[in-house]
Every structure is written in C-alpha cells, then in structure tokens.
Structure 1
Amino acid sequence: MRQHMLNGWLVAALIALVCLLGITAYVEVRRDLPRVACVRDHKAIDKKAAQQENCSTVCCNTTAVSA
C-alpha cells in the first residue's frame, strides 16, 4: 500500500515538472519570437540591408539584443 502511494506521488511530481517546463518554454519562446522574426526578416524595416543594431531598435523596439 505504501509503495502504491509513493508511486502515485512520484507520477504527480513528474507531471507537475513536465507542466512547469512546458510553461517556461512557452513563455520564453513567446517572448523571443518577435526578436527572431526581426532578425530573420532584414527587409522588415524597408531597408535593403538592415544591420543587427538598428534592427533591435527600429524593428523590435528594444535596445538590448538578447543572446
């Protein structure tokens, strides 16, 4: 009986861990998606060749480029 209960708690902890990792990954990807789209689409700001530094300020409206 005790082993069955411990296995239940282990499964519950594993599911909670997977959910937390999934939520964290979703938030990070959602936050980083506009920057990646800006860096990939160099003509998004109507210039022939946008540089990395002005892409971060003009297109993405941020001054810091995350690594």
Structure 2
Amino acid sequence: MRQHMLNGWLVAALVALICLLGITAYMEVRKDLPRVACMRDLKAVDMRAAQLESCSTACCNDTSPSA
C-alpha cells in the first residue's frame, strides 16, 4: 500500500514537472516570436536602412500591416 502511494506521488510530481517545463518553453517562444518575425520581415522586404536600426525600432516605425 505504501509503495502504491509513493508511486502515485512520483507520477504526480513528474506530471507537474512536465507541465512547468511546457509552460516555460511556451513563454520563451512567445517572448521571442516578435523578434523573429521582425527579422524575417526585414529580410523579405530588404530594407537596408531599417537593418541598421534595432529590430524593435524598425518594426515599430514600419507602417506596413503585419501578417
């Protein structure tokens, strides 16, 4: 009985760990998406002047609609 209860706690701890790792990965990807999209848009449009500025400044100053 004791071993069964310990196995249950172990499974619960593993599920919690996997959930925390998934949430952390999701937050990091979500935080990085605007930077990646900005870099991709700058390469697609080939704006040489905008590439000299920081990515966030270039994207904020751009008036073209984003996908």
Q: Deviations over 1:26-58 (max 9, x none)?
A: 1111111000000111167x663342x514222
Unpaired runs of 5+ residues, structure 2, are 62-67
The answer to which structure, 1 or 2, has the higher relative contact order (CA under 8 A, 6+ apart) is 2
The aligned length equals 59
Q: CA RMSD in A?
A: 2.3
Q: Is the 8 A contact 1:42 1:48 kept in 2?
A: yes
Moved over 4 A (4+): none
Aligned-residue identity in percent: 75
TM-score, with length taken from structure 1: 0.71
Considering fraction of residues, name the structure with more helix. Answer: 2
Q: 1:23 and 2:23 equivalent?
A: yes
Instruction: Find the counterpart in structure 2 of residue 4 from structure 1.
Output: 4
Counterparts of residues 1-67 of structure 1 (less than 5 Å): 1-42=1-42, 48-49=47-48, 50-51=50-51, 53-56=52-55, 57-59=57-59
Unpaired runs of 5+ residues, structure 1, are 62-67
